[in-house]
Structure 1
Amino acid sequence: MRKIVGKAAALATVLTAALATHLVVPPAASAAAQLVGNGTFTTSTSPWAAIGQTTVTAESGRMRVDVKSVVANPWDAMVAAPTTAALNPGKSYTLSFDAYSSAAFTARTTVQYAATPGSNQSLAADVQLTTASKRFSIPFTATAASNTAAEVTFQLGGSGGTPVVRFDNVSLMETQTIRPTALYVSGKSNPARWAAENSQTEEAKAIQANIANKPIFEWFGGWFMDLTLAVDDYVGAAQAQDRLPMLVAYNIPNRDACANHSGGGAGDAAGYHRWITEFARAIGNRHAIVVLEPDGVAAAECVTRIGKDPEDQYRMLLDATQVLRAQAPNAWVYLDAGNATWIRAEDMAPRLVKSGIANTRGFSLNVSNFITTGVTEPYAVALNGHLSGTVGAKKYVIDTSRNGNGPYTDPTPDDNWCNPPGRTLGAAPVKQASGAEYLFWVKVPGDSDGPCGLAGPGQIPAGTFSPMLAMALINGSP
C-alpha cells in the first residue's frame, strides 16, 4: 500500500471527511472509456509518478521503471497514475498490461482509492514477472468508498534486488452495465488483413465488401504464445467499441479426431484445463460470446482410433464449461453439437448433458459446415426436445458462413465437407427473435478446411486464409 505518514495522513483524513459531505456518486463510465490517461508511453510517461525508490522514463514506447535500491516492502518502490474518472462502487473493471523484468520476481499491482490507499484497494494482486513480456488481465469489482477518485499502482519493492521493469499497453476499463447488442467487426480478421494488404486489387475490394466487413468469430488455440495477450487484445478492442466479441475455443486434446486436418490441441487433460482457464480469465467479467470446441462432442467417438476413451473427452468438456461459467461469467457459451446430419438428436443430447451443457447458454450447430438453416432448425428443435427432460431446452446458434447453396454432393461423400466447389456465403450474422438465437459466421469464410477440395492436395493448410477460397464463396464457383 502507499504509505501516508505524519501531517500527510492528517490532511488526508480532513480531505476525506470534507469530500464525503459533498460527494455525488459518479455516473457509469461509457463502455469505451479508457480510465488510464497514458498506457502506451509513445512519447512520455506522464501522468505516471515515481514514488519511493524508483525512477521512471519512456523507452522505446514502454515505461521503464528502475528500482534504485533494495527495499523491504512492495510500496517502497512504485509508480502510480490517477484514473481519468472516479470508480463506481459495485461495478466490474478489468486492468490489463504487458510487463517484463530484468530479473524474475513477484510484483504487486493495485487499483486503490487515492484518499485512503492503504485501506481501500479494490484490486491488490500479485503478478509473477519474468524476463519475457507477458500480458496480465485482471478483473475486479470496485469496493465502496466515500471518495472514489482512484489510482493505478505498480509496486516493485521487496524483491531483494534492484530490477528494471518495463510496462506497456496499460488499460483500465469498466465492464458495460448493459450487454452490447451489436457484434464486433475486427479489422484484424484474416480476410480483413488480406484485403487491407491488397487493397488495390478487385479481389480485395470484393472480399472487403462481402466478408471482411461482417462480424466473424476469432479462433483461439495453442498457436498463441501468449494466450492472455491474444484474448485480451481482441475482447478489449470490442469493448472499446461497445461491441460483442465472438470467440471460438479450439484446443481440446485430439482435436479434429475424425478428419485430422486440424489435428492437435493441448497435450492432455491437465494441459487443457490450464489453457481453458487462461482463456476464460482473459475474458474475465467482460461480455462475450464463446463457441466451445467445434466438433468436440460429435467427434469424441473418433478418439477410439488412437486408443483414447471418449468419456475422457466429455469430462474435459464438462470441466471447460465449469471453468468458463466461473471465470467468464458474462460470456454466453455455446457448446458445439456438430451438425444436423452427423449424429441423431436422441444420441447427441445425452452426450451434451455429460459434456456440461447445463453450465452453458446453449449449443452451436453447423460450425464450418454447409447444411442449410432450413435443415438445421428442425434438428435443433429435436435436440431441445431430448434435452428438455434433463437440463431443459437451451438457446442455440447456427453457423451460416458457407451454407448458402447447402452441402456439396458427389460420389465420394467422405470428403465433401473440405473446401467443396460451388458453395456460397449464407445469411449474414444477425440476432433473431425466434428460432436460432443468432445466425453467425463462426467459420471464417476463406479460411481453408485443409489441403483438399478446391485447396488441392498439399496446398493450403487448415486455418490458412485463401483469397481464391473466399472469392469462390462470393461467386458460388471455383
Structure 2
Amino acid sequence: MARHLKVTGRRRRAALVAALVLVTAGVLLRDNEPSPAVRVPEATTTGAPALYVDPTGAAADYVRRLERAGRTADAAVLRRISDRPAATWFTDARPGYGDRARQLAIAAGRANRLPVLAFYFIPQRDCGNHSKGGAPSADTYKKWIATLTLALRGLRALVILEPDAVAHTVRGCLTGRAAQQRLALLSWAVATLRTEPGVRVYLDAGHPGWMPAARIAPALRSAGAMRAHGVALNVANFQTTNDNIRYGTELSRLLTGRHFVIDTSRNGNGPVTRGTAERRWCNPPGRRLGTPPTLVTGHPLADAYLWVKRPGESDGACGRGAPRAGRWYPAYAMALAR
C-alpha cells in the first residue's frame, strides 16, 4: 500500500499527532461558543459537486464475481448499488487506517469528487449489541481521531461522526458520568476534525422513530453539534425521507440553524412497523433502496441525501443466514436492489 502521510518513522508520526491534539485542545476551551451559521445556497443542478464512488467496495467486488461467473442479469441488478456512491466506514485501529483514509480522499480529489467517510470507533460502541467494540479507552479514541484528521490534511471529505453515539446517552446504555464523558469525547472529536477546512463534519443525531428532537437536542449541543457543519439522520435506518426532513427541520430550530444530511440508502419502502424491535431494524424484509445519493436535495436545510449504510451489508447476525454486522449479505442486497 502506498504511503501518503510522508512520515519518516513512528516518532515523527507520534509528534505530529501530539501536536494536533495540543492545537485542538485550545479550541475546546471555547466549545460553548456557537460557530457561525453554515450558509448553504439554495440547491441547484448547475455546477453541483458530485460524490465519490469507491471502486473497491463489497458491492463492486461482488458484481465483478457475478460477471466472471456469467451471471450478467444479477450483476445488472446489483449495479444499482455498486455504481452509486456510499460511505466508507472506519471502525477499528488496524495498522494503515490513516493511510487508507488519505488514499481514499486523494483518489476522490483526483476525480473531482467528494468522498463520504463514516467514523465508528467510539468506546462502548453500540452498547454491546451487534456492532459492539470500539476503542478500548478515551485516549485511544483521541489518537485515532487525531490520526484520521492528520490523514485528511489538505483534502476534502464529508465525515459522518459516530452513528448512535449521542442517542445512546439519552436512550441507551450510558447514563450519568459515563454519558457526560462520551459527549465530551464527541465534542473533542468534532473540534479536532474542524481544524481541517476541507472536512465537513456531521454528528449523528438518530432518526425520528427513536426519540423526539427536543429530547436529543441538549445532548447534541454537549457533543459539539454547534461546532459541526450539521447533523446526520437515519443512518442505517429506514425512516422515510419526508419524516426525516420534518425531524431535521425541528432539530435545526433547536440547534440554531444547523443543517442536516439524510441516509436514504434503504428507506424506499419506509420502516417496518410490526414485530420485535430487532426485526424492525436488523435486516428487515421488504425494504428497498431509497433516493440515490446527491448533494442537490432541493431543500435549504438538507445538505445531502447519502447512502451512509452501504446497501447490502448486514445489520447483524439476526435471522437465518445473516452474517455479522458490516459483512456483505448477497441475498439481502438482491432484495433491496430488485
Whether TM-score is above 0.5 comes out as yes
User: d(CA) in 1 for partners of 2:56 and 2:108?
Assistant: 12
Please name the residue that 1:207 is paired with: 78
Q: Which residue of 2 aligns with 1:96?
A: 4
Tell me the residue number matched to 2:29.
Answer: none
Please say if 1:441 is aligned against 2:310. no
> Take 1:198 and 1:320, find their aligned partners in 2: how far apart are those partners?
40
Query: Could you tell me which of 124, 131, 135 is aligned with 1:254?
Result: 124
**Distance between the aligned counterparts of 1:383 and 1:474, measured in 2?**
31
Q: What is the match of residue 294 of structure 2? A: 430
Q: Does 1:356 align with 2:224?
A: yes
Say if 1:370 and 1:407, in contact at 8 Å, map to a contact too.
yes
For residues 202 and 5 of structure 2, the distance between their equivalents in structure 1, rounded to whole angstroms, comes to 29
Q: What are the superposed Cα offsets for residues 46-68 of structure 1, whole Å, 9 maximum, x if unpaired?
A: xxxxxxxxxxxxxxxxxxxxxxx
> 1:245 maps to which residue?
115
**1:205 Cα deviation after fit:** 2.7
Between the two structures, name the one with larger relative contact order (CA 8 Å, sep ≥ 6). Answer: 2
Structure that is richer in strand per residue: 1
- Cα gap change, 1:467 to 1:411, in 2 (>3 Å): closer
Measured after TM superposition, the shift of residue 227 of structure 1 is: 1.3
Tell me the CA shift for residue 358 of structure 1. 1.6
For structure 2, the 5+ residue unaligned runs are 15-19, 21-46
Matched, 1:451 2:314: no
Using the alignment, how far apart are the partners of 1:384 and 1:372 within structure 2? 18
Distance in 2 separating the partners of 1:304 and 1:282: 31
Q: Deviations over 1:351-406 (max 9, x none)?
A: 1100001221000100000000111111111111212xxxx211101000000000
CA separation in 2, counterparts of 1:274 and 1:284? 15
Match 1:463 to one of 323, 326, 329? 326
Matched, 1:339 2:210: no
In structure 2, how many angstroms separate the alpha carbons of the residues matched to 1:291 and 1:333? Answer: 6
| CA–CA separation in structure 2 for the residues paired with 1:275 and 1:180 | 32
2:265 counterpart of 1:401: yes
Distance in 1 (CA, whole Å) between partners of 2:201 and 2:63 is 30
Question: Are the counterparts in 1 of residues 241 and 262 from structure 2 also a CA contact under 8 Å?
Answer: yes
Could you state the TM-score of these two structures normalised by the residue count of structure 1? 0.59
Cα distance in 2 for partners of 1:384, 1:370 equals 21
Number of residue equivalences: 302
How many angstroms apart in 2 are the aligned matches of 1:359 and 1:203? 44
Return the TM-score normalized by structure 2: 0.83
Q: Following superposition of structure 1 onto structure 2, how do residues 176-187 of structure 1 map, counting pairs within 5 Å?
A: 181-187=49-55
Checking the alignment, whether the CA contact within 8 Å between 2:4 and 2:103 is kept in structure 1 is: no
Q: 1:161-180 maps to which residues of 2 (within 5 A)?
A: none
SS of aligned partner of 1:198: helix
**Alignment partners' CA distance in 1, 2:203 and 2:5:** 30
Aligned residues of 1:349 and 1:383 also touching (Cα < 8 A): yes
Separation in 2, partners of 1:96, 1:411: 49
1:189 equivalent in structure 2: 57
Query: In the alignment, what sits opposite 1:132?
Result: none
Greater share of helix: 2
Alpha-carbon RMSD across the aligned residues, in angstroms, is 2.5
The CA distance in 1 between the partners of 2:219 and 2:13, in whole Å, is: 39
Within 2, Cα distance between the matches of 1:308 and 1:105? 35
CA change 1:462–1:127 in 2 (3 A) is: closer
Please state whether the residue corresponding to 2:193 is helix, strand or coil: helix
